[in-house]
Amino acid sequence: MRSNLLAGILILSLAVNAAVLGTLGYHYFTKQPQRDSVTCFSTGDGHLYQSLGLTDGQLEKMEPLAHAFHGHIAEMKASMEQKKDLLIDLLQRGEDLDRVDALRREMAIIQDTIQKEVISHIADIKKILNSKQQEQFFSLMRQIMTYTGTSLPTPSGGNR
Q: Report the alpha-carbon distance of residue 22 to residue 41 in Å, rounded.
A: 34
Q: Report the alpha-carbon distance of residue 81 to residue 151 in Å, rounded.
A: 24
Q: How open is the CA angle 17-20-22, to the nearest 5 degrees?
A: 105
pLDDT of residue 74: 92
pTM higher than the cut 0.75: no
Helix (H, G, I), strand (E, B) or coil at 1: coil
Nearest-CA neighbor of 84 among 138, 142, 26? 26
- Mean pLDDT split into 10-residue runs, the chain, 160 residues: 72 68 65 42 56 86 89 92 92 88 93 93 92 90 70 47
pLDDT of residue 31: 61
User: Which amino acid, 110?
Assistant: I
